[in-house]
Amino acid sequence: MNRSAVETAERLASRHRKGRLFEWACLGATSLGVLVLVVLLVGVCVQAWGWLDGDFVSSYDSRHPREAGILAGIWGSFWLIGMTAIFSVPIGVGAAVYLEEYADRSWLTRLIQVNLANLAGVPSIVYGILGLTVFVRMFGAFPDGKVIVVSLGIASLKIPIPFGRTVLSGALTLTLLILPVVIVAAQEALRAIPGSIRNASIALGASRWQTIRLQVLPAAAPGILTGIILALSRAIGETAPLVMIGALTYVAFTPGGIETPIDVIRDPQGVLDAPYDTFTALPIQIFNWVSRPKVEYQHVAAAGILVLLIVLLVLNGTAILIRHRYRKGIRW
């Protein structure tokens, strides 16, 4: 009796030790990640100190490190990510809604599921090759090249066929790249909505479409948005597929000639031209600066990395705001 009590106490102590050990291991794993991030951030900030200023974000690349700026990269990435979002959100969410809410479980949907998971892991350069053939060259079906001009009163749309080395080609390629991730994330979010919500809605006389629009989608929106943000954050850092489809490294103009946020309102023609203009993007500029011979370009690259980080933070911040608003709207 006495012996077994001692044994139990010992076992208990050993179990507690193991528990504490596990806790420490988890803490170690967390702090290692944070530590690496802090070291990286501090390193970049120190290198970028004195280089990230007004001139840097308002001038173009240059062979003089002090004059080099990232304006073309900022606007290139802005149009690229904006258009990628416009394409990938409706298609991605639509596909997820169909797969989760409408489609029956059959061998076909299972096949689609498996392929989606696989596509999410395909190297991005492969999407670049695909984009080059399909969007940039359109299989070589239009060797002479045509421009479709659509007059819209105050401005006109000039769509080149094939799309060529334009922002549009880049955005469509990035859309293909992130669609699997968006769809899978949106599916997870939809699956987390309890079936009782749908049943209740139907029981009150709502149609399937009304149920999805007014109950399921608003409830799933925070989760869907998180998936979209993660996917877009990945897209904004991509270099390989963009270089493949012909994004440039040195560009001394912005898409559509729009250089300030006010231009977006003031210059409708520029806004319509921007998707069909040649471009460069933030990660391409940074990658190029890092590999330059002149030592000062390491500082320019660090400043570029900070700009990319700030853009990412703004993007994530906006999403968190929207998500917060959606959460408030849910009353159950």
Partner 1 sequence: MRGFPGHSRVERVVKPTEKGLEMTKWNRLPVMATVMLCLVMVGCSVEDSGTDGGDVGGAGTDATSGAALSGTVMIDGSSTVFPISQACAEEFGKLHGDVKVVVGTSGTGGGFKKFVLGETDINDASRPIKQQEIDACQENDIEFLELTVAIDGLSVMVNPQNEFVSALTTEQLKKIWAPDSTVELWSDVDPAWPRKEIKLYGPDTDSGTFDYFTEVICGEGGASRSDYTPSTDDNVLVKGIAGDKYSLGYFGYAYYVENKDKLKAVGIAEGSDASRAVVPEAKSIEDGKYTPLSRPLFLYVNKASLAKPHVKAFLEFYLREGQKLVSEVGYVKLSADALAATRAQLAK
How many residues belong to the site for partner 1 (CB under 8 A)?
Answer: 56
205 is a contact residue toward partner 1 (CB under 8 A): yes
Identify the residue among 84, 88, 124, 166 touching partner 1 (CB under 8 A): 166
Identify the residue among 84, 226, 254, 288 touching partner 1 (CB under 8 A): 288
Nearer to partner 1, 159 or 312 (CB): 159
Identify the residue among 45, 138, 240, 290 touching partner 1 (CB under 8 A): 290
Q: How far apart are CA 250 and CA 278, in angstroms?
A: 11
Q: Measured from the CB of residue 175, what is the shortest distance to partner 1 in angstroms?
A: 21
293 is a contact residue toward partner 1 (CB under 8 A): yes
Q: Measured from the CB of residue 93, what is the shortest distance to partner 1 in angstroms?
A: 16
| Closest residue by Cα to residue 109 from 4, 11, 187, 170 | 187
267 is a contact residue toward partner 1 (CB under 8 A): no
- The window from 3-11, 20-28, 57-65, 230-238 that contacts partner 1 (CB under 8 A) reads 57-65
- The window from 30-38, 43-51, 284-292, 302-310 that contacts partner 1 (CB under 8 A) reads 284-292
Nearer to partner 1, 81 or 284 (CB): 284
Q: How far apart are CA 101 and CA 112, in angstroms?
A: 15
Do residues 121 and 181 make contact, with C-beta atoms less than 8 angstroms apart?
Answer: no
Site residues (CB under 8 A) for partner 1, limited to 295-324: 295, 298
Site residues (CB under 8 A) for partner 1, limited to 59-88: 61-63
Identify the residue among 57, 253, 264, 322 touching partner 1 (CB under 8 A): 253
Q: Measured from the CB of residue 156, what is the shortest distance to partner 1 in angstroms?
A: 7
| Closest residue by Cα to residue 127 from 89, 172, 191 | 172
- Cβ neighbours around 168 below 10 Å, total: 24
Q: Measured from the CB of residue 140, what is the shortest distance to partner 1 in angstroms?
A: 8
Q: What is the per-residue binding string for partner 1 in 121-160, x denoting contact by CB under 8 A?
A: ----------------x------xxxxxxxxx---x-x-x
Q: How far apart are CA 299 and CA 265, in angstroms?
A: 34
Q: Which residues pair with 82 in a beta bridge?
A: none
Nearer to partner 1, 88 or 166 (CB): 166
Q: How far apart are CA 234 and CA 228, in angstroms?
A: 10
Q: Measured from the CB of residue 83, what is the shortest distance to partner 1 in angstroms?
A: 16
Q: How far apart are CA 164 and CA 230, in angstroms?
A: 28
- Cβ neighbours around 249 below 10 Å, total: 15
Q: Which residues pair with 159 in a beta bridge?
A: 148
Do residues 236 and 77 make contact, with C-beta atoms less than 8 angstroms apart?
Answer: yes
CA separation, residue 127 to residues 31, 61, 92, 100, 178 (Å): 35, 28, 17, 26, 10
Identify the residue among 69, 76, 92, 164 touching partner 1 (CB under 8 A): 164
| Closest residue by Cα to residue 163 from 142, 179, 191, 180 | 142
Q: Measured from the CB of residue 116, what is the shortest distance to partner 1 in angstroms?
A: 17
Beta strands 146-151 and 156-161, pairing class: antiparallel
State how far Cα 315 lies from the chain centre: 9
End-to-end CA distance of the chain: 54
Return residues touching partner 1 (CB under 8 A): 61-63, 100-101, 137, 144-152, 156, 158, 160, 164-166, 190-191, 195, 198-199, 202, 205-211, 243-244, 246-253, 273, 276-278, 288, 290-295, 298
